[in-house]
Structure formats: structure tokens, C-alpha cells
Amino acid sequence: MDLLQRTPVINLDTSFEEACRILDVEPEFRALSDRRTRERLFFRYIDDLEVRHREEEKKRIQKNMEEFKQVLESRSDITGESQWREIRQLLRDEPSLKNLDEAKAIRCFEDHIKVLREREKVALHLERERKKRDEKSARDNFRVGL
């Protein structure tokens, strides 16, 4: 496995036969006289490489989504009533948007809009409660003055 890791030309696209041609000059590789053992080690390495590649890709996508969410949060011109087609046009030159596929960008946008709508709903509720208190206070003050 160490030999495979130290050979950068062997990647996910490398076939077993190609790897044999590349590694045939290596004493470590030749020490494995059994083809099945070589093949088993090669495919185990490729499987590990694939898993690592998927994990790195997942992390990269998550990082790009977080960056795009930060951009959305920093924009005061995006409201709960904003629509994706308008925002996509507005942010068309934004690197964090360019780093995401359309589906992931839309998901970030929709999540952000949900948060904004919830905040607006809470703010409206608080405003109504404040208004009720003010009106009650004004009525109470009027009654005291009578």
C-alpha cells in the first residue's frame, strides 16, 4: 500500500494493468509474486482512494455552501420575498455561487429565505404585541385623566 501511495501517477483512473506496468520496476512490487495479492492490494488502495476522494468532495461542497450562505446573510437587499431568479442574476459574478451547482445554490437560498421569513414573522409578532401594549397604555392613561 505504501508503494501505491508513493506513486502519484496511480489514481482512480488507473487500471490494474497500468499499475503493473508502472510498478514492475519496483522491488517491493516484485516481492509480491502472487498476482491475486497484487490485485487485491491495488483494488483495496483504489477503494480507499475513492472513499477519500468522496469525503474531500463532500467537504469542498459543504465549504462552498457555507461561503454562499455567508454571502446571502451579508446582503441586506435579500428579503423573505426575494426570488431565486432575481438573486441569481444579482449574484451572478459571486465566486461562491460559481463554485456551487445550481441545485445546491437553490437549497442554500431556500434555507436562507426560510430563516428570513421566520425572522420577519417574529418581528411582526413583536411589533403587534408592542402596539397592543401601547394602545392599552394610552387607554389606561385616558381613563385616568377622566
pLDDT band at 30, cuts 50/70/90?
Answer: confident
- Per the structure, the count of domains in the chain is 1
pLDDT in the model for residue 6: 82
User: What would the 3-class secondary structure string for the chain be?
Assistant: CHHHHCCCCCCCCCCHHHHHHHHCCCHHHHHCCCHHHHHHHHHHHHHHHHHHHHHHHHHHHHHHHHHHHHHHHHCCCCCCCCCHHHHHHHCCCCHHHHCCCHHHHHHHHHHHHHHHHHHHHHHHHHHHHHHHHHHHHHHHHHHHHC
Q: What pLDDT, on the 0 to 100 scale, is given for residue 1?
A: 63
pLDDT of residue 23: 87
Q: How far is CA 14 from CA 17, 20, 40, 79, in A?
A: 8, 10, 15, 49
How does pLDDT run across 47-102, given as a tens digit for each residue?
999 999 999 999 999 999 999 999 999 999 999 999 999 999 999 999 999 999 99
What is the grid cell recorded at 28? Answer: 517491493
**pLDDT for the residue numbered 24:** 85
φ and ψ at residue 4, rounded to 5 degrees: -65, -40
- The domain of 25 spans 2-145
Q: What is the mean pLDDT of the chain?
A: 91
The x, y and z cell numbers of residue 146, run together, are: 377622566
Give residue 51's pLDDT. 96
Give the model's pLDDT for residue 87. 93
Q: Which of 27-36, 39-48, 49-58 has the lowest mean pLDDT?
A: 27-36
Predicted local confidence at residue 128, as pLDDT:
95
Residue 32: how many other CB atoms lie within 10 Å: 16
pLDDT at 135 over 90: yes
In contact, 13 and 53? CB cutoff 8 Å: no
Global pTM reads 0.69
